[in-house]
Structure 1
Amino acid sequence: MDQGNTAFMLITAALVLLMTPGLAFFYGGLVKAKSVISMMMLSFGALGLIGVLWVVYGYAIAFPGSEGLVPPWSIDWSAIGLTSLLEVPEGAAYPPLAFVAFQATFAIITVALVSGAIADRAKFGSWMIFAAIWATIVYFPVASWVFNFGLADDGSFAYGGWITYGMQEVFGVGAIDFAGGTAVHINAGAAALALALVLGKRLGFQKGVHVPHNPPFVLLGAGLLWFGWFGFNAGSELAADGTAAVAFVNTIAAPAAALLAWLLVEKIKDGKPTSVGAASGAVAGLVAITPACASLTPIWAIVLGLVAGAVCALAIELKYKWGFDDSLDVVGIHLVGGLLGTLYLGFFANTTGLIYSGNLTQLLVQTIAALAVLVYSFVLAYAIGWVIEKTIGFRVKNEDEVAGIDTVVHGEEGYVLEGARA
């Protein structure tokens, strides 16, 4: 067993886990002051719930092993509860549970991302029910499609999900998604759009009405997300090697460029670059580079960041034009950014992209993967959310939304001035 790589995986898993509290700060700063606890609790609720489900059966669904093409929805019954993974096989590069821990953090952050679309108006209990069902029938299987693959001794695919192994067999190349552009960001963004449509608009929804109550929280959250993202991207190599170093550098370059591009768009469009724009631009660049971080040169990573920062800065305006209330721009940043990063590989991926290979095969498989995850996640998320709304209710009462839902849902206030309660 390689202790260096084992330490690398455990450290990167811890970095990715930090992203969920970071997301809580990022989202918490964007909502109104009377909803900050409710917003942050959606992330912490996902952390607790998905952490347990992953150990009980999530890993068994996401990584069922098998030979050849793994069915789109399958389960390794021996991995239920992870007992079978306690022993370290002879010759293994790292303990199986190190990989289990690393992938657990991906599941947690993906579910938490969805919550940004329903800020200020969601019941906590209904969110937890949605999160459990959506993770079970959407995230865990999609993770298997993308991340579950094994290699033969000659380096060829031995088994895997249809997005990697299946399209490799059909088209000669599989879809590239190094760290989760499809499984995490397109997946979460599509589900966020579905829930935004199910819950409907916040009261008084229009541009300029709902403003961030705490931009410093937003910047803190973005900083924690960026820090954790090095584990997200470089850690996906599962080894401390040259590929991890490329992913690490690109995780600096792309979001840095996206931050600048977002600020430039803000300056041209609104006259002032904002702190929230800087944070959002960095996250947009991080999203876009996620699938591509190991397959681009640093220069092409910068170009991707510039494109993502500018396009996502414009994309967040679509909710006002098309009339859906994606509260915290999960669609504009994660869905659009995930699509950009995934499709960009069709043109600029090392060796297989259009500019290197002279053909569009890589773009074709990237498009199939992106659209398949988008449609699958959107349809099922909409169905789950609709059933919850029509049965136990997903949205709080209008009067609770106006007053702020922290005290109604959690019995707490984010900010209490001395003597205010008296």
Structure 2
Amino acid sequence: MDGYYAFMLIATALVLMMTVPALALFYGGMTRSKSVLNMMMMSYVAAAIVGILYVAIGWSMGWSGDAESGGTFFANPFDLFWLKDVPTDTYVFVMFQMTFAIITCALISGAVADRMKFSAWLVFVPIWAVVVYFPLAHMVFSCTADSLICGRIGAQDYAGGTAVHINAGVAALVLVLLLGKRTGWPKDKMRPHNLTLTMLGAGLLWFGWYGFNVGSIVVVDQDIPAEMGRTFANTTLATMAAILGWLAVERVLHGKATSLGAASGIVAGLVAITPAAGAVDISGAVAIGVIAGAVCAWAVGLKFRLGFDDSLDVVGVHLVGGIVGTVLIGVFSTADGAGGVDGLLYGGGADSLVDQTLGALVAIAYSGVLTLVIGLALKYTIGLRLDVDDEVGGIDLAEHGENAYDLHSGSFSSAGGGTGVLAKSTTSPLTKNEGASA
């Protein structure tokens, strides 16, 4: 098992890298130049806050119950408070799950770019982690008989389609509705300022996702090499298929296949295969990937038709992609996979499809209701939204007293007040010159 523990150390580092710097770069490139530092800071502070909270009570809330009984929604927060009585040789698994908590919170930030007060974010993150993420992680990852989603309901979720992606996507939608639209949206074309950063971030996310999915293998009664091979291959092929699915829809709808579309397709495929990585075979992974890429490419345009300002398309990619991947397990899973269940396509009937759909609905309802309560409480106490003048002038300067670029060349405002020459050259026909997100 020494080799397995060594691998888990690497997997944990890879998942942490997915937030800092991968997600920070991915989101940062898609914002305007006057917002990039704030966008990256939201990822970095989420890592700091959630990491400490997870060690204090998060691991206990998720994992302190035994296999027979650990609570339907969460376990006792104080049984393993500050990892009391947790053997040090288990710390690597604590750190691994901690990185999942971190990136889930950080993902939400892309939806609220440009306009959420940094102070409100600092308060929202710890409350949301404790009230929403830690319980949902227990419902999915704890593997106890009483846990709601993967215990009582019996849904499969290999690495977090419900607890991570659906959860973050729903929370993002709730905050967007509470915050309202950015000043000038959608009339003003709020273009990504640096797609090079976004493409780099997408590549790092893909690389880190091997820690995310392959690191989630279940070692009890499993053939570790076989499960690692299946998960690695499925993660790779689904992502490739999603790129092609996204670009095909982009080409049909808007006449061009863009670099932003390719980067977003990468993330859509990774999101969708996350819950299914161990449950399906290679053909199922390709099918899930291409469906997710195509559906998410269409879904990111819904914000214009429905009028909600999801700045970097967290809803269109994470919520929609998470639902696609979670539900399609009920169609494409095979009895040879980690869950041992044949889906609808393999003669297993509709039972698995029903379980997967119900699991997704529970995650949507739980995250949606509690995020709304938290968001309303903050909105009517400390306030969620930046002042209009500070938003127009630039959130980087208003909240951090800094500018990302000080080139003194005339291409960018020294106050970070405009998107500049570079932003004018980075257009995205798919989302009317806005960025789709991780």
Output the TM-score relative to the length of structure 2. Answer: 0.89
Gap regions ≥5 residues in structure 1: 88-94, 151-158, 168-173
Q: CA RMSD in A?
A: 1.6
The one-letter amino acid of 2:318's match is H
Alignment correspondent of 2:204:
224
Alignment correspondent of 1:155:
none
Q: Is the 8 A contact 2:403 2:414 kept in 1?
A: no
**Within 2, Cα distance between the matches of 1:255 and 1:131?**
29
2:374 corresponds, among 384, 405, 415, to: 384
Q: Is the 8 A contact 1:65 1:149 kept in 2?
A: no
Alignment correspondent of 1:90:
none
**Within 1, Cα distance between the matches of 2:74 and 2:251?**
47
**Within 1, Cα distance between the matches of 2:247 and 2:26?**
18
- Residue 120 of structure 1: SS of its match in structure 2? coil
**Within 2, Cα distance between the matches of 1:346 and 1:10?**
32
Is 1:44 matched with 2:28?
Answer: no
Alpha-carbon deviation of 1:329? 0.4
Alignment correspondent of 1:73:
74
Alpha-carbon deviation of 1:160? 5.0
1:356 corresponds, among 346, 369, 377, to: 346
Alignment correspondent of 1:203:
183
Alignment correspondent of 1:59:
59
Alignment correspondent of 1:276:
260
Alpha-carbon deviation of 1:77? 2.4
The one-letter amino acid of 1:315's match is A
Q: Is the 8 A contact 1:18 1:228 kept in 2?
A: yes
Q: Is the 8 A contact 2:64 2:79 kept in 1?
A: no
Deviates more, 1:75-84 or 1:331-340: 75-84
Alignment correspondent of 1:212:
192
Do the aligned partners of residues 18 and 160 (structure 1) sit closer, same or farther apart at CA in structure 2, a change above 3 Å counting?
Answer: farther
The one-letter amino acid of 1:237's match is I
Render the CA deviation track for 1:287-341: whole Å, top value 9, x for unaligned.
0000001111111111111111110000001111111111110000000000000
How many residue pairs get aligned? The number is 400
1:161 corresponds, among 140, 147, 151, to: 147
Q: Is the 8 A contact 1:65 1:76 kept in 2?
A: no
Aligned 1:1-400 pairs, distance under 5 A: 2-20=1-19, 21-71=21-71, 72-75=73-76, 77-87=78-88, 95-149=89-143, 159=145, 161-167=147-153, 174-206=154-186, 209-238=189-218, 240-351=224-335, 352-400=342-390
The one-letter amino acid of 1:68's match is E
Alpha-carbon deviation of 1:98? 1.3
Alpha-carbon deviation of 1:188? 0.4
Q: Is the 8 A contact 1:146 1:177 kept in 2?
A: yes
Render the CA deviation track for 1:259-286: whole Å, top value 9, x for unaligned.
1111111111111111111000110000
Alpha-carbon deviation of 1:209? 1.1
The one-letter amino acid of 1:118's match is V
Alpha-carbon deviation of 1:68? 2.5
- Residue 216 of structure 2: SS of its match in structure 1? helix
**Within 2, Cα distance between the matches of 1:209 and 1:372?**
36
The one-letter amino acid of 1:235's match is G
Q: Is the 8 A contact 1:63 1:76 kept in 2?
A: no
- Residue 188 of structure 1: SS of its match in structure 2? helix
Q: Is the 8 A contact 2:29 2:194 kept in 1?
A: yes
The one-letter amino acid of 2:282's match is P
**Within 2, Cα distance between the matches of 1:261 and 1:272?**
13
Do the aligned partners of residues 288 and 67 (structure 1) sit closer, same or farther apart at CA in structure 2, a change above 3 Å counting?
Answer: closer
**Within 1, Cα distance between the matches of 2:360 and 2:237?**
24
Deviates more, 1:238-247 or 1:104-113: 238-247
The one-letter amino acid of 1:132's match is P
Deviates more, 1:377-386 or 1:41-50: 377-386
Q: Is the 8 A contact 1:65 1:160 kept in 2?
A: no
Alpha-carbon deviation of 1:64? 2.1
Task: Report % sequence identity.
Answer: 50
**Within 1, Cα distance between the matches of 2:83 and 2:334?**
37
Q: Is the 8 A contact 2:284 2:333 kept in 1?
A: no
The one-letter amino acid of 2:203's match is G
Render the CA deviation track for 1:183-227: whole Å, top value 9, x for unaligned.
100000000000000101001111771111100011011011100
**Within 1, Cα distance between the matches of 2:404 and 2:368?**
33
